[in-house]
Chains A and B, each alone.
Chain A
């Protein structure tokens, strides 16, 4: 778990360095693959739940690109550290 946490922390740092503090995750993903988000949105809103996109995934995509992987990485690292300490 700490290894996974470390990976996401590094990913967050990498995204911060590459795209700066403000670039939205959605914008980064759109630049990488313009069709990806549209297809994902269609699948989520049509086959799962429209609100899942609007209220959960969209806020993550609107946040700075480094924030989600960085926060996830820190959380996983902390959990791993707590488990290791017993």
Chain B
């Protein structure tokens, strides 16, 4: 006969933390905050960026650029065409923020940014970013695949393009005073490009919420294309069967096209794209076809040789 003596440190099975919570840090933190029934703590948690594991599939092969460089050298034309727009961009409110996903979808929806931070499968990806101006950087973005967001709204089979629209806030964006430009900033890609796993909706950088000068609270990034294709501070994503004409395509179609895939052999009309200046170090390195992501995306363009894929 076994006599079971309970030790003081013994705990009943019902007190064991579920495996899913132990191995799901992000959810565990959120649930833990809720369990404490401390509204302030829960709010603080919601205002920050939930932890996200790094996806090592897309190793950049280069050192990560210093955060200070990335957050102080920005292209964001709504705030000016110079690189030091960050003080001005800081005035753009980041909360509340919603992004509408509509057009040719079964279930159009408007998502709050906090809702996306809670629901989407956040991960960190270290991507190279190649600007059309022949400089580059390497950034640890936090976000989720665009495909995950599109799954929520169920695109119609007839949808062929995705249009991304940036916020237009005249009160805080001095660039909008130039009323002759075709605001709001529009960019787009094909449904096939949007469905590629590399197409990333970014909500954070360097483990923090994405700062406004980098396109916070939510931006897009396709690392095999030139940076101007990545819409910042997005407020709307529309699925359509019409190829969009982007902001830059309307202004300078000879220089900035719809596809804008990185190609070192196709120069910009005013400069070479053969090499790039690495932000921070100033080193010049050779530019790679598709910015080095060819193995993941080259097949998207088979059969499109007649298109102007490289600018």
Contact = CB atoms under 8 A, between A and B. Distances in A.
A26 interface: yes
A37 B252 contact: no
B250 A34 contact: yes
A50 B85 CA distance: 10
A38 B84 contact: no
Interface stretch (A6-14, A39-47, A66-74, A76-84): A39-47
Interface residues of B, number: 15
A41 B255 CA distance: 16
Interface in B246-266: 250-252, 255
A26 to B, nearest CB: 5
Contact of A35 (B81, B174, B251): B251
Contact of B180 (A37, A46, A50, A54): A37
A contact patch SS: helix
A15 interface: no
Nearest to B82: A45
Given A34-B250, A35-B251, A35-B252, A26 B179 contact: yes
B173 to A, nearest CB: 12
A24 B179 contact: yes
Contacts of A29: 180
B177 to A, nearest CB: 6
A26 B80 CA distance: 16
Contacts of B250: 34
Nearest to B178: A26
B83 interface: yes
B181 interface: yes
B178 A61 contact: yes
B74 to A, nearest CB: 13
Contact of A46 (B81, B179, B252, B255): B81
5 contacts: A27-B180, A42-B81, A45-B80, A50-B80, A58-B178
Interface of A: 24, 26-27, 29-31, 34-35, 37-38, 41-42, 45-46, 50, 53-54, 58, 61-62
- Leading 6 A-B pairs by shortest Cβ distance: A30-B180, A45-B82, A27-B180, A50-B82, A35-B252, A41-B81
